[in-house]
């Protein structure tokens, strides 16, 4: 570690170092230590920072440069996905099975790398969900959970954390419904944190951190209806 990284060891100190201190490699590492309390996580996400680490490591906090986002008008729905959606074989719900979604995300059979949703992270995001800050989209087929995603929302800002599928296209369907949900409130983007091939296929692009922070500022200023995240079935 070099002197750009500030250890957050004092539980009562929620301050993060300036984003300019984040290391370009690897992936915008900014700080280590601290805890996963609701207040710290809220402070982090409001600042464009998120935790990501593996078992046996300290908590690591990141702010990538560039940042992966999906502009709300640039979601890519290919012909195959459009056909699947039109067949209406799936039912999609909001916040009906958060615990099941995050557990499937932590133990997705298709994931080759070690999960970052370690027990402490899982418990922390379940706690965020209880506080109305973390939310899930569930995709069902024949009353079985086929796929889904979860993320953190503060006002009109949504940062996607992870997704899973047990049926082909189920995670893409979850993203499509999330997109429609956010678009209904004139929210301009979905924070994907870092680009990967799956997200790129759905229209994710990389933007400079400064551009991302400007978009985030606008999203944080959007006040949503009080019942916006109530558990319910969703429709396109």
pLDDT at 115 over 80: no
1 in a domain, yes or no? no
Confidence of residue 1 (pLDDT cuts 50, 70, 90): very low
Query: Do both 124 and 228 map to the same domain?
Result: yes
pLDDT classification of 168: cutoffs 50, 70, 90: very high
Same domain, 61 and 87: no
Transcribe 154-207 into DSSP letters.
ETTEEEEEEEEESSTTHHHHHHHHHHHHHHTTT--EEEEES--HHHHHTT-EEE
Q: What is the tens place of the pLDDT at every residue in 59-85?
A: 999 999 999 999 999 999 999 999 999
How high is the pLDDT of residue 26? 76
In a domain, 207, yes or no: yes
What rounded mean pLDDT belongs to the chain?
A: 91
What's the CATH number where 165 sits?
3.40.630.70
Split into its structural domains, the chain has a count of: 2
Tell whether 142 is covered by a domain: yes
Q: How confident is the model at residue 12 (pLDDT cuts 50, 70, 90)?
A: low
CA atoms of 201 and 66, how far apart (whole Å)? 18
Task: Give the contacts of 112 (CB within 8 A, at least 6 positions apart).
Answer: none
Q: Which domain holds residue 127?
A: 68-234
225 CB-near residues (< 8 Å, 6+ apart): none
pLDDT of residue 15: 84
Let me know whether 25 and 49 are in one domain: yes
Same domain, 22 and 102: no
Last residue of a domain, one of 22, 43, 65: 65
Residue 113, domain member (yes or no): yes
Going by C-alpha positions, the residue among 99, 149, 132, 128 that lies closest to residue 226 is: 132
Q: Which of 65, 84, 100 is the last residue of a domain?
A: 65
In a domain, 211, yes or no: yes
Based on the domain organization, do 147 and 205 belong to the same domain? yes
Examine the domain organization and report whether 109 and 166 are in the same domain: yes
Residue 172 lies in a domain: yes
d(C-alpha 66, C-alpha 71), whole Å: 15
For residues 122-137, average pLDDT: 98
Are 120 and 108 in the same domain? yes
| 226 and 159 housed in the same domain | yes
CATH number of the domain within which 11 lies: 3.30.70.3550
- Residue 24 and residue 106 in one domain: no
Contacts of 126 (CB under 8 A, 6+ apart): 98, 99, 102, 134
Q: Indicate the length of the chain as a whole number.
A: 236
For residues 113 and 183, state if they share a domain: yes
Q: What is the pTM of this model?
A: 0.93
């Amino acid at each position: 570690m070099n002197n750009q990284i500030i250890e957050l060891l004092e539980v009562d100190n929620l301050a993060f170092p300036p984003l300019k201190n984040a290391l370009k490699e690897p992936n915008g590492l900014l700080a280590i230590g601290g805890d996963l309390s609701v207040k710290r996580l809220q402070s982090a996400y409001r600042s464009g920072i998120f935790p990501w680490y593996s078992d046996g490591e300290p908590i690591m906090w990141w702010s990538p440069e560039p940042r992966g986002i999906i502009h709300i008008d640039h979601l890519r729905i290919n012909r195959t996905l459009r056909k699947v959606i039109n067949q209406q074989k799936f039912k999609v719900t909001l916040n009906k099975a958060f615990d099941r979604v995050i557990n499937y995300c932590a133990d997705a059979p298709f994931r080759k790398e070690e999960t970052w949703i370690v027990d402490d992270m899982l418990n922390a995001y379940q706690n965020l969900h209880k506080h109305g800050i973390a939310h899930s989209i569930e995709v069902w087929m024949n009353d079985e959970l086929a796929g889904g995603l979860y993320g953190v929302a503060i006002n009109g800002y949504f940062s996607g954390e992870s997704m899973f599928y047990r049926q082909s296209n189920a995670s893409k369907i979850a993203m499509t419904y999330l997109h429609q949900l956010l678009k209904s409130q004139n929210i301009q983007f979905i924070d994907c944190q870092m680009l990967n091939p799956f997200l790129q296929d759905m229209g994710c692009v990389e933007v400079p951190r400064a551009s991302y922070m400007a978009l985030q500022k606008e999203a944080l200023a959007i006040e949503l209806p009080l019942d916006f995240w109530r558990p319910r079935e969703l429709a396109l």
